[in-house]
Amino acid sequence: MFLDLLAREASAVEFEGPVLAARSAGAGAEELAELEEAKLVALRVRALLRRRAKREAELSALFDTAGDLAGLRDLDAVLEAIVHRARQLLGTDAAYMTLHDPERGDTWMRVTDGSVSAKFRALRLAMGAGLGGLVAQTATPYSTADYFADERFRHKTDIDDAVLEEGLVAILGVPLKLGARVIGVLFAANRSVRPFTQDEVALLGSLAAHAAVAIDNARLLQETRNALEELSEANRQVNAHSQAVERAALAHDRMTGLVLRGGGVGDVAAVVTEVLGGSLTVLDDAGRPIAGDADVLRQDVPQDGAPRRAPLEPHRATAADAVRGAHTTADVIAEAARSSRASGRTVRRGDLLVASVDVGAEPLCTLVLRAAGQVSDADQRILERAALVTALLLLFRRSVAEAEGRVRGELLDDLISRPALDGLADRARRVGVDLDADHVVVVVRHGGGRDRAAFWASSQATLRHGLAARRGDEIVLLLPGERPGLVARQVAAELSASLGRPATAGAGGPVRGPAQVAAAHREAQRCADALVALGRAGDGAGTAELGFVGLLVGEGREIGTFVASALGPVIDYDARRGTTLVRTLAVYFGTGCSLSRASESLHIHVNTVTQRLERVGQLLGEDWQSPDRALEIQLALRLHRLSG
């Protein structure tokens, strides 16, 4: 019957039933003794079975915990499961875990199960304080059936208040250890007096060991993840650096190839934009675009870097500008170029990247890249290399131009000072100048910037198949053409724009052959002097455009040319129509510009005189009676009459 009770897991009280039944039935003492002994054996078997069942449950919980650790899906979830299992297996009202804080030197509440007090969940335990602090300090399990009555622990008000608010009485704490190092404490606690057995201490210790392993595995996993992330980032940086180096090497090779193949500044700009993207323009030493995309300069860049559309023009500061702090693109680029030359590095202003190069403290070129996004340091070095290559190309071009300019200048000096020298025409042909064609000699007075003016003249002479020389303070050019005045005006306008100050050009010619160049040079000098004396600085003209002054300064005193320029249309009209407009003009001026006296002298009606003078106005222009024009016309009438 005791086996039946064991089989159905009966309570300990039910095992008294067979003994009581035998005693009621009048069993003898010997039989009752045997039943009593069988009862005790059955109870021992029952206790053993219960311990084994409990041990089986504990092992199952440990096995489940080990499975959780193997998966390690989430450290928080694993720790919560361990604390919950501790509470279930030990049958306590609450379970919780504290972890060591190396920075503050205490332990803090990491996980709780069954807790009802917010103050308790926020509790921190100093080393050696309370039961938990003692466990953490000594790395030894401690338990108490009645915490507040136990004098073994150093009670602190804040800890006791929190424990009292939570209602805990019996507490068991075991250390969480990694090797000899304590990383925290696992607790099981009851809200009533209760002793803890050695088996319960061992069970909680096993769960604490699992928790320590979980925490360490999580740390190792996080360190592994951090290491992988660092390796990934390092790999990305290495790849980016490798790509930047490869891109820089490619750009350098291409720019070097361009130089060797005789490429120009525009080719370098094309390589930069192809490699870096965006749009780029190349500025000369005066800040003028010479290659690339000039639209880069057509957008203002305020100090905050936000672009604003506006035409590129000289900036006139206003009070509003002072308040806004706005600058035109030209101002921003000029300032950035100075900073770049001073530092030797690319300077960023808003979305503009500026790299500038100087030679001997003199600006040579500036590259301006408008980039949409971030440009790496390696890509900025590409822009700086491009600026250096551009500077080398400009220096080479300048050296070639200066060498060729010296050859052309020496030839022009010989044509002016030694026109009888043998071989002048052959020397001219070797530099692409045909002296047998019509040429105009231009003398320029510029009042400063001699090197820039000489370089400009040399470049123009090369482009237009002419010659140029610097003689003292003047620039002399021999350029192809038949109209001295037109050539002089072009030279004056273009050189004035290049220098930023008035350049006055006088022209002589046209001439053919070496022998006539010297005379045309003297005539051009006199024209330039006359323009300056007349207050026409910055203008250009030949003798024909100077009226009677041109007649005075002209090398051959060309009376016919002057008469034709002043009176030609009227003379031609008379020759074609058989009219007498020239005689009418002479009489009109001879009578003091009186219509009535002129009509009497010509024996015609006043209206006829008026009609003839209207025709003259149509031929010579409406201003023919202005003082200057009237003087030239009267002088031309006299010379025309004297020449027959």
What Cα–Cα distance (Å) separates residue 597 from each residue in 73, 100, 591, 594? 124, 128, 6, 5
In angstroms, rounded to a whole number, what is the distance separating the alpha carbons of residues 93 and 188? 8
Q: Residue 500 phi/psi, 5° resolution?
A: 75, 20
What is the H or E stretch that residue 528 is in? helix 517-533
3-state DSSP call for residue 502?
coil
Sequence-distant (6+) residues with CB within 8 A of 97 are: 79, 82, 83, 109, 110, 111, 112, 176, 184, 185, 186, 187, 211
Closest among 623, 562, 610, 566 to 584, alpha carbons compared: 610
- Tokens 């500038």 sit on residue: 356
Is the pTM here over 0.75, yes or no?
Answer: no
In angstroms, rounded to a whole number, what is the distance separating the alpha carbons of residues 485 and 523? 12
Closest among 508, 515, 495 to 561, alpha carbons compared: 508
Q: Where are the alpha helices (DSSP H) in 261-299?
A: 265-276
- Tokens 């003087």 sit on residue: 631
For the chain of 644 residues, list the mean pLDDT of each consecutive stretch of 10: 73 78 80 80 77 68 61 72 84 92 87 92 85 88 92 87 93 90 92 90 85 81 87 85 75 73 78 79 81 66 44 39 52 85 84 82 82 75 82 76 69 80 80 84 79 78 82 83 86 83 84 84 80 77 64 51 76 86 84 84 85 85 80 74 60
Question: β-strands 347-349, 352-359: how paired?
Answer: antiparallel
Which three-class secondary structure string do you get for 305-355?
A: CCCEECCCCCCCCCHHHHHHCCCCHHHHHHHHHHHHHHHCCCEEECCEEEE
